[in-house]
Structure formats: structure tokens, C-alpha cells
Amino acid sequence: MGHRERAREFVADVDRTRWHDQALWFVRSKRDQAADLVPDWEALRDQASAIKRSALTELPELWREFEEHATAAGTVVHWARDAHEHNEIVAGLLRDRSVRHVVKSKSMLTEECGLNSYLEAEGIEVIDTDLGERIVQLRGEPPSHIVMPAIHLQRAEIGELFAKEMGSAPDLDDPTELTDVARRDLRDRFLKAEAGLTGINFAIAETGGFVVVTNEGNADLGTALPGLHIASVGLEKIIPQQKDLAPFLRLLARSATGQAITTYTSHFRGPRPRSTQELHVVIVDNGRSQLLGRPAFREALGCIRCGACLNTCPVYRRSGGHSYSATIPGPIGSVLETSRDPATHAELPHACSLCGSCTDVCPVRIPLHHQLLAWRGELALSGHHPAWRRFSLNLVAWLFVRPTMYRLLGRFARGIGRRLPPTLREDLLPAWTRQRHLPTIPKSSFRELYRERQRQPKRPRPQAQPRPRHERNG
């Protein structure tokens, strides 16, 4: 089942769709206000996208620099070609230290790699500590949003889940109380964990350090106690210098939730001092270097995972994250996931009306809707579009470059359309007419009427008069 069918199921629940749309629109509005308050928002976007663009041209150098400085600071650096290698490296580290309990803060990369199930198969317990992630973990489903993983759920549903899983009072739906329940439940797990896993928002070549941002402080807590911290990072997440962090940190939280800054911005550089803690960083390619080799789509690697393009997307808001059946939904997901596996995700670049608002909000100026358009072209050429679709479209185009053919075809189609009984006419185009009437079909085309108009003696046409000064209002 592709996006269309899943979206249809989502939309069928009118109330939930409205609620989902409005919840995300609210987040987008907060983004708008936050962006409005920064005088040089556009300059900041320019700066951030320039840093990313140039970093993407020198990834090998930057990572070598990172590795050198990180190693000097006592961090162990690992390289993973793909998801399997990544999972095996992490599992190996845990195995060697007989770790049975792991806490993990939010990381889309480990979602992408399917790390949780890999570790669980080894008998290692993985607890997601971000509240939203914990909720979807308990429900056994993937996150539906990259910043707000459980945005598809209403409070009452979370109350029910917690009652079942954590024994809280049934019909709890106060956000503060629900958070308290989760916090109490998580506290023990933080204490029990022998290793903390995190993602990385920004790795810094110059220092060999990295930054993790959260709103809940769960990354700090999860790495403060255990003797082992493993941080997984995608190949694209590196920036050259410490000072480059500034534009990104200013853009990220504002774009994501409209906050001026995330509640926690945690800097790591080597293991905790005066401790026996170990710090490992796993750098993962998993298809990224291939995307790097495609100039039309390369810039998508600059994504800082703020989620703004999801929040603004009229399709995402009305179809829900799960309708994309992909780790990353929404406009950026449609670009990235299609690059990863075009056959599976061939519908995603079409789940877009090309309104372009994703491109407008993207803090690093990824031309998202133009990339989706470019993907459609690629998919057609690589045989991922149905043959009949291609044939009929190209036939119409062939007729349309021939004005006489176009004129005759138009006349013929209108003639048929006007003669058919309305119900039959509608039955012929069910995808349009199930919910929409067809436009009234006129007898004559514009060009026919234009000819008539030209033949008529020049009749006086309405002449616009200059407006008296005092009446002007615009």
C-alpha cells in the first residue's frame, strides 16, 4: 500500500485529520513568529546553507580532522558503511561490556538503521527516553514526525497507553500529569542503564566535539550516569568550526517549534573527565555518499532535521507521518527516502501539490519542491511510472505541439463531453468526480470566440477612465 491509500485512510477520519492539521499549523505559526523576530532571518538562512554547501564538498577532510581531534580527546571513532555495519558496531560494543540495558535519546539515524530491533534480538533492552519516542515505542510503531514523534496521537490515547503500560490512573489526559507518569517510569530505567545512546546534531571538525540538542534533557541524563556513551552520526552532519554552530542553533529551534533555543544544548568532547566513561562515535554512510554524487539532490544532505517542512506541508498535515511508510516523512523524507529506494517510494515525490512552502521555510534553503519535481522526472525515465500513464501523457503532448491537432482534439472532446449524459461523463473520470463536479463544458473554445470577435466590426469597447484624484485609495 502506497502513500495514496494510506492517506485516504487517514483523511477518512475527518475529525482527526482536522485536529492533526491544526496542531501542526499551530507549530508552523509559532515558527513564523519566531522567524519574524529575527531581523536577519534570510541572511541567517544564507549563512547556514553556505556552510552546509561547502561542508558537503569536503566531507573526507572534515571527518579526518574530526577524527584526529576526537581521538586526541579520548573519543573512539568508528566508521560504518551501512545500517548493518552500524548496528553491528554498536551491538559489539555493548556485547563486549556485557551491557543489558540501554537508554537512547532521540536519533532519526538509529531509526533509519533499525537499531532497536537489532539490539532487542540480542537480548538487550533499549528504552527510548524522549517522551514522544517512548510513547511510540510502547505502541510498537515508528515515529510519525522527526521532531514530535507522537504528534499523531491525542492526549486521551496517551493516557490509555500509560494506564496499560505503566499502571497510571485510567482517563488521565492532563499533559503535566502524563509527563509525570512517564518521568517516574523512566527514572528507574535511567538509573539501571549501563550505556547511553544518542544521536548527533552537529559534529565539529575543528574540535572533534559534537552537540546534541533536546528539549527534555534526556540526552544529558542518559549519558551522565552510564560508563559508556555511543553517539551515532550521519556522514552529512559535520560542520567545520565551532563558530559555525551559531547560525544553526539560532535557526534550528526557531524553525522546529518556534522556540528561541532548545532547552538543552549539550556539548560533548571526549569522555566525561575524571571518570572511566568511554565515548564512541559511529559515523554512518548508509547511502549518503551516493546521494552526494547526485548534484540534483545533493543539497538535501544539508538537512538539520528541524521538521519545519513537515509542519508547513499541506499534504503531510492531512495525511499523517505514517502515510509515508518511511523513516523520515514529509517533503524532506520524500526526497531522501526516494533516493534510498526509488522502487519502494516511487509515490512519494507525487505526494506533493508543489505549493513550495517547504522550500520557503527550510532554514538551510534546500529547494525541496524542485527536488521533488526533479525526482518525478527521474522516476519516469527509470521505469517507475506505469507505462500507460507515460504513453497517454506523451501522446497528449505530441498532439499539443501540433496546433491543428490540439484544436481538433479540443473540439472533439468538448463535443463528446457536452453530448454525454452528465452521470456517464462523471463516471468516466471517477478520481476527479467522486468528490468534485466537472467544470461546465462550453460550446466554443476561446480561440473560436476570438475569431468571431475579430470578424465583428470594431464595436466600442469599455474604455477605462482615469480616476479622479480624490477617489484613489490605492
Partner 1 sequence: MRVALFVPCYIDQLRPGVGLAALDVLEAFGFDVVFPEAQTCCGQPFLTAGESRSAKSLFHHYLDVFEDFDQIVTLSGSCAATVRCQLPNHVPGSRAKAIASHTFEFCEFLVAHDVASRNLGHFPHRVGLHASCHALRELGLGTPSELRHLGRPDPARSLLSSIQGLQLVDLTRSDECCGFGGVFSVEEEAVSCRMGLDRLADHQLAGSEVITSTDISCLFQLQGLGAKSQASGAPGFEFRMLHVAELLAESLAGITSQSTATQQENGGLHGTS
Restricted to residues 370-389, the positions that interact with partner 1 (CB under 8 A) are: 373, 376-380, 385, 389
Inter-residue contact 274 to 87 (CB < 8 Å): no
Rule CB under 6 A: is residue 291 a binding residue for ligand SF4? no
Tell me which residue has cell 476527479: 432
Rule CB under 8 A: is residue 408 a binding residue for partner 1? no
Judged by CB under 6 A, the chain residues 360 through 389 that form the site for ligand SF4 are 361-364, 366, 368
Residue 196 or 349: the one with the smaller Cβ distance to partner 1 is 349
Nearest CA to 323 out of 343, 340, 348 is that of 348
| Residue 49 beta carbon to partner 1: minimum distance, rounded to whole angstroms | 15
Rule CB under 8 A: is residue 46 a binding residue for partner 1? no
Q: Three-state DSSP class for 243?
A: helix
Rounded to an integer, what distance in angstroms lies between the CA atom of residue 420 and that of residue 443? 13
Furthest CA-CA distance within the chain: 97
Tell me which residue has cell 523520515: 328
Judged by beta carbon distances under 5 to 8 A according to partner kind, the member of ligand SF4, partner 1, none in contact with residue 466 is: partner 1
Residue 182 or 368: the one with the smaller Cβ distance to ligand SF4 is 368
Rule CB under 6 A: is residue 253 a binding residue for ligand SF4? no
Rule CB under 6 A: is residue 351 a binding residue for ligand SF4? no
Rounded to an integer, what distance in angstroms lies between the CA atom of residue 368 and that of residue 305? 13
Judged by CB under 6 A, the chain residues 254 through 273 that form the site for ligand SF4 are 255
Strand 202-204 vs strand 238-239: parallel, antiparallel, or unpaired? parallel
Alpha carbons within 13 angstroms on the beta-carbon side of residue 452 total 6
| Residue 386 beta carbon to partner 1: minimum distance, rounded to whole angstroms | 11
Inter-residue contact 326 to 345 (CB < 8 Å): yes
Rule CB under 8 A: is residue 394 a binding residue for partner 1? yes
Residues whose CB falls within 8 Å of the CB of residue 449, separated by 6 or more in sequence, listed in order: none
How many residues belong to the site for ligand SF4 (CB under 6 A)?
15
Rounded to an integer, what distance in angstroms lies between the CA atom of residue 77 and that of residue 68? 9
Rule CB under 6 A: is residue 348 a binding residue for ligand SF4? no
Tell me which residue has cell 577532510: 61
Rule CB under 8 A: is residue 413 a binding residue for partner 1? yes
Nearest CA to 329 out of 141, 203, 200 is that of 141
Q: Which stretch binds partner 1 (CB under 8 A): 119-127, 204-212, 237-245, 315-323?
A: 315-323
One of 42, 122, 173, 180 touching partner 1 (CB under 8 A): 42
One of 305, 317, 345, 384 touching ligand SF4 (CB under 6 A): 305
One of 343, 408, 416, 449 touching partner 1 (CB under 8 A): 449
User: How many helical (H) and strand (E) elements, i.e. helices and strands, does the chain have?
Assistant: 24, 10
Rule CB under 6 A: is residue 308 a binding residue for ligand SF4? yes
One of 388, 435, 455, 457 touching partner 1 (CB under 8 A): 435
Whole-angstrom CA distances from 137 to 112, 125, 132 are 15, 12, 9
Residues whose CB falls within 8 Å of the CB of residue 384, separated by 6 or more in sequence, listed in order: 342, 343, 346
Task: Enumerate the H helices of 81-213 as residue ranges.
Answer: 83-96, 108-113, 115-121, 131-139, 155-166, 175-192
One of 225, 360, 420, 425 touching partner 1 (CB under 8 A): 360
Rule CB under 6 A: is residue 195 a binding residue for ligand SF4? no
| Residue 351 beta carbon to partner 1: minimum distance, rounded to whole angstroms | 6
Rule CB under 6 A: is residue 62 a binding residue for ligand SF4? no
Q: Three-state DSSP class for 76?
A: strand
| Residue 357 beta carbon to ligand SF4: minimum distance, rounded to whole angstroms | 10
Rounded to an integer, what distance in angstroms lies between the CA atom of residue 405 and that of residue 400? 7
Judged by beta carbon distances under 5 to 8 A according to partner kind, the member of ligand SF4, partner 1, none in contact with residue 387 is: none
The dihedral built from the CA positions of residue 366, 314, 250 and 150, taken in this order, carries a sign that is: negative
Q: Which stretch binds partner 1 (CB under 8 A): 89-97, 104-112, 336-344, 455-463?
A: 455-463
Rule CB under 8 A: is residue 343 a binding residue for partner 1? no
Q: Which stretch binds partner 1 (CB under 8 A): 97-105, 130-138, 210-218, 311-319?
A: 311-319
Residue 226 or 363: the one with the smaller Cβ distance to ligand SF4 is 363
| Residue 103 beta carbon to partner 1: minimum distance, rounded to whole angstroms | 36
Rule CB under 6 A: is residue 48 a binding residue for ligand SF4? no
Rounded to an integer, what distance in angstroms lies between the CA atom of residue 165 and that of residue 163? 6
Residues forming contacts to ligand SF4 in the complex (CB under 6 A) are 255, 303-309, 332, 361-364, 366, 368
